[in-house]
Chain A
Amino acid sequence: MSATDTELPATAPAPRKKSRSMLGRLLRNPLGAICLAFLLLVMVCGVFAGLITSIDPNFSELLAVNARPFSPGHLLGADASGRDTFARLLYGTRATMTACAIVLVVSLVLGVTAGLVAGYYRGRVEAVMDFIADVIMSLPGIVMLIALYAVTGPNMNLAMTIFGVIIAPTYFRLVRAVVVSVRSELYVDAAKVVGLSDARILSRHILWAVRGPVTIHSAGILAAGIAIQAGVSFIGLGDPTVPSWGTVLGDAFANIYRNPTGVIWPALLISLSILALVLLGNALRDAMQAGGSTPRMSNKQKRRLAATADRAGIKEPVSTPAAPAAAAGRDDVILSIRGLRMGYPNPDGEVREVLHGIDLDVHRGEVHGLVGESGSGKSQIAFAILGILPREAVILGGSISLSHEDLLADQAAQRRARGRRIAYIPQEPMSNLDPSFTIGAQLIYGLRAVRKMTKREAHAHLIPLLERVGIRDAERVMKLYPHEISGGMAQRVLICGAVATDPEIIVADEPTTALDVTVQAEVLELLRELTRERGLALVLVTHNLGVVADLCETVSVMREGRVVELGDVHGLFENPQEDYTKNLLASSKRVEMLEY
């Protein structure tokens, strides 16, 4: 898995110039700056409440009962007891801030410590902590919080401490996951070798790695803290003598028929503060993980991208090796690819081209090898022929014709051909069967998707075919689930599924790579027999030149999204024209020698 990651350096975000401060990047995001400013304003107002208003938040002014908002002396009106709403909200901010601080500190200390320890030491410590976290998370936290009020009475600080404990497992899971992945990194090993103590490694190196995710998560925890503090006091479990956003909302709500606008201010303040924190968390994530994932685009956006790429012009003349003279005269071409260009969008919204104008002809009954190193684009061609490219892929130009029907231009033709005339044999047999259905169910379903048959006819059609591909006891295998059969068997099932619809051409993407060596030979033999028996054309994608020599008649050698050499298999092996092909042949010989 890690090998594929390193093979695709272009998709990884380019190492950006690290901005001096997180804050700087955050402030450049307008939404992040607005949220931060709003929260700071709220906090400053809370701290300096006494300077902003001279009204005592608990003072009842009889003349001001249910005063309208913007009435003189009462900016946001007053409640049923004539207490000034603005003053109560200002002073209430302090209660909110205290509550948030308690929740944050308690959950942070418990969760982060436990996560660091569990992720660093693993083993039994982790198992025990994990169980505790599981139990806490399976509790209805708010129910417990309210139940405990029966013994604690109106004690907001204790309630928030309990909530901190309830929410701590979220930190625990987050931190543990980060630590587990960082623990094996080289610099941690280096620190160990140098002889630093565990405590020092944990606090210095690993804590440094988790600070980003923890900061982002903390924004959400603070939002939850506001919600819980306000909620608990809203339903009357707070201290009635201390003004808080929740009690103001609760009082106003009880009085909603006489003074309907009273609920607006506390509700707005609570919602906006929570929203600001959530959005701030998002902005933080963006600032920390700049250039992260590729955007998921709609078809419309992709077309626009393709169009702009076209307008930018074809970057360079398409270089194609001349088709072999022998092939030029033949008119039994079944599949013809011309000038195929495709790519993937990168996070900046530009398309990175991975196929730079591919030309390829496959003749009736021909076994055509498509070789090249990983990342040369050979699988992309296979997927493009079948119209099963990942949805981010953008076709930039060219055509793929199956008997003179352009499959790229005509979606309906693509749909008609897929499964019926062109079949597919994948690389990883196990992951290419749906784990939720029996072998029989998916074979029958796949067959009936393209051929008009009853279930019974399909079943009768498939049994001899399964036996043909080498599955004994086909009736029993039909009733098994994919996890109950071996990889070799699964590949035979997939081959059976591919040939069942009687296609004219099969695209096989590294069909033997994931199999044991003994099974590989059998599957290759099976493919050879099947193509001969049925007059099938086969496009065989592989990096294994031995397989090519064994099975193919024609070979296209690919490199960096281009076909660099094309010829019949004997000529190519005996007299390679291109340097790259020579290198490929030489290196594969070296590998073979090493293997024996």
Chain B
Amino acid sequence: MFFTLLKKLLRSAVVLLIVLFATFALMFGNGEGIARGILGLGANEQDIQNKMQQLGLDRPLLVQFWDWLTGVVTGDLGKSYFTGETVSSALQNRLPVTLSLVIPTVIIAVVISVFLGVAAAYYGGWLDRTVQTATGIGAAIPGFIVGVALVFAFAVAIPLFPATGYVPFTTSPAGWVASITLPVITLLIGSIAGLAAQVRGAVIDTQSRDFVRTLRARGVSEAAIVFRHVLRTASGPAITAVGLIVIGLLGGVVFAEQIFALPGIGQLLNLSAQSGDVEMVMGCVLVMTLILLIVNFAVDTANVLLNPKARIS
């Protein structure tokens, strides 16, 4: 069991490394362009060469990548070309904001999706059709439209929540809740739509399995069959779906942080990308992929714990 997990972790680490290198190559492939971007249009050729040398952009790409990678281990991710702020401190300041959105969204989405998916699969009929239609629409409508609609309705038309800004939990728990409510709902719509449909499908699949019929024939109560047996087997595909939802969620976070002016990693990524601050962009990509790595590992662990068959192989 331990080795199964270790193997999976190693595999995702390799994928992570490939992704990071590919991004790095794209970001730093054109060192001259970066130097030109920093110095502006007025710079002459000599200035650009000096700047490249100063920043180490004239070295081979693999050397630069290795340098960056060792920096990741020691916590030195370089400095913003424009503000001079170190990347690691910028990420540290902004990570709590992003996690304040991602973690509550995942928890609430899982609870609501399981509830909706099981109810739709179990009762069928109009409830099932309603859930199917709602998840279909919810999955189609982009998150930023939902965000704009929420601001329009609950911050402008009926000012219940602040439209922008972040209040740290340590400053004011109530303020924190108020500041993340609308962004979290924005992220929830798409997440629930995706996840509930998966849970529904997994439960329907499991319900038609032979052992469920045998359990029923044994006189096991319906509630016990659904909550003890069906949900346990359906949890495999559902947990895998959670992993996929989080991938989408990281994209959604960029939009949500932009709409609600939350100083998180997503907003940093967007601002850095617009200014061409590649060191900062690399740092954001690193954090996002690390979050994914952790989530994937959690997904694998949960699968192994819940499904005895996954422990071997």
Chain A residues in contact with chain B, CB under 8 A? 134-135, 137-144, 146-151, 153, 223, 227, 230-231, 234-237, 249, 253, 256-257, 260, 263-264, 267, 270-271, 274-275, 278, 282, 296-301, 383, 386-388, 390-391, 415, 418-420, 422-424, 426, 428, 431-437, 445-446, 449-450, 481, 483, 494, 497, 501, 507
Known contacts A275-B137, A431-B210: does B270 contact A419 (CB below 8 Å)?
A: no
Q: What are the residues of chain A within 8 A of B211 when measuring CB–CB? A: 431-435
**Alpha-carbon separation in the docked complex, A557 to B143 (Å):** 61
A-B contact pairs, 17 of them (CB 8 A): A140-B251, A140-B288, A151-B30, A230-B142, A231-B255, A235-B254, A237-B273, A278-B137, A278-B140, A418-B216, A424-B214, A426-B214, A428-B210, A435-B309, A436-B229, A445-B224, A449-B220
Q: Using A253-B151, A263-B148 as known contacts, list a sample of 18 further A-B pairs with CB atoms less than 8 Å apart, ordered by residue number in A.
A: A134-B15, A138-B296, A147-B281, A235-B144, A236-B270, A253-B148, A263-B152, A275-B141, A418-B218, A423-B218, A431-B211, A432-B214, A433-B211, A446-B218, A449-B224, A481-B308, A483-B309, A507-B217
In the complex, what distance in Å separates the CA atom of A449 from the CA atom of B241?
32
Q: Flag whether B64 is at the interface (Cβ < 8 A).
A: no
Instruction: Tally A-B pairs: CB < 8 A.
Output: 214
B125 at the interface (CB under 8 A from A): yes
Contact B251 A141 (CB under 8 A): yes
The closest CB in chain B to the CB of A154 belongs to: B274
Cα-based distance from A149 to B281 in the complex (angstroms): 10
Using a CB–CB cutoff of 8 Å, the interface residues on chain B facing chain A are 12, 15, 18-19, 23, 26-27, 29-30, 33, 123-128, 136-137, 140-145, 148-149, 151-152, 156-157, 163, 204, 207-211, 213-221, 224, 228-229, 232-233, 247-248, 250-252, 254-255, 258-259, 269-270, 272-274, 276-278, 281, 284-285, 288-289, 292, 296, 306-309
Tell me what chain B mostly uses at the interface: helix, strand, loop, or mixed.
helix
- A300 is contacted by which of B29, B125, B140, B281 (Cβ under 8 Å)? B125
Task: List A contacts of B29 (CB < 8 A).
Answer: 151
Whether B288 lies near A146 (C-beta < 8 A) is no
> Which of A139, A418, A446 is packed against the most chain B CB atoms within 10 Å?
A139
- Chain B residues with Cβ below 8 Å from A436 are 229, 232-233, 306-308
Contacts A253-B148, A260-B156, A390-B208 given; indicate if A449 touches B218 (C-beta within 8 A): yes
CB distance from B250 to the nearest CB of A (A): 4
Which of chain B's residues have a CB closer than 8 A to the CB of A426?
210, 213-214, 217
CA distance A234 to B151 in the complex (A): 15
- Residues of chain B within 8 A (CB-CB) of A149 are 273-274
* A151 pairs with B214, CB closer than 8 A: no
Q: How far is the CA of A439 from the CA of B156 in the complex (A)?
A: 59
Partner of B273, one of A146, A234, A300, A483: A146
Chain B residues with CB under 8 Å of A256's CB are 151-152, 156, 163
The one of B128, B163, B219 in contact with A450, judged by C-beta atoms closer than 8 angstroms, is: B219
| A527 → B minimal CB distance (Å) | 17
CA distance A300 to B127 in the complex (A): 12
> 4 smallest A-B Cβ distances: which pairs?
A419-B219, A298-B125, A142-B251, A424-B217
Judging by beta carbons under 8 Å apart, are A415 and B219 in contact?
Answer: yes
Whole-angstrom distance between the Cβ of B8 and the nearest chain A Cβ: 12
Contact between B217 and A140, CB atoms less than 8 A apart = no
Of the residues A146, A263, A432, contact of B254 by C-beta under 8 Å: A146
Chain A residues near B124 (CB, 8 Å)?
296-298, 391
Complex CA gap A431/B213 in Å reads 10
Query: When chains A and B are docked, how far (Å) is the Cα of A431 from the Cα of B215?
Result: 12
Residues of A within 8 A of B218 (CB): 418-419, 423-424, 446, 449-450, 497, 501
Contact of A267 among B23, B126, B128, B148 (CB under 8 A): B148
CA distance A297 to B128 in the complex (A): 9
Question: Min CB distance, A100 to chain B, in Å?
Answer: 14
Q: With A270-B145, A298-B126 as known contacts, state yes or no: A235 contacts B214, CB within 8 Å.
A: no
Taking each of B207, B218, B247, B255, which has the highest tally of chain A beta carbons within 10 Å of its own beta carbon? B218
Measured CA separation A507–B289 after assembly (Å): 55
Residues of chain A contacted by B156 (CB below 8 angstroms): 256-257, 260
Cβ-closest chain A residue relative to B229: A434
Complex interface: chain B residues within 8 A of A386 (CB): 216-217
Taking the nearest CB of chain B, how far is it from the CB of A126, in angstroms?
Answer: 19
Are B125 and A267 closer than 8 Å at their CB atoms?
Answer: no
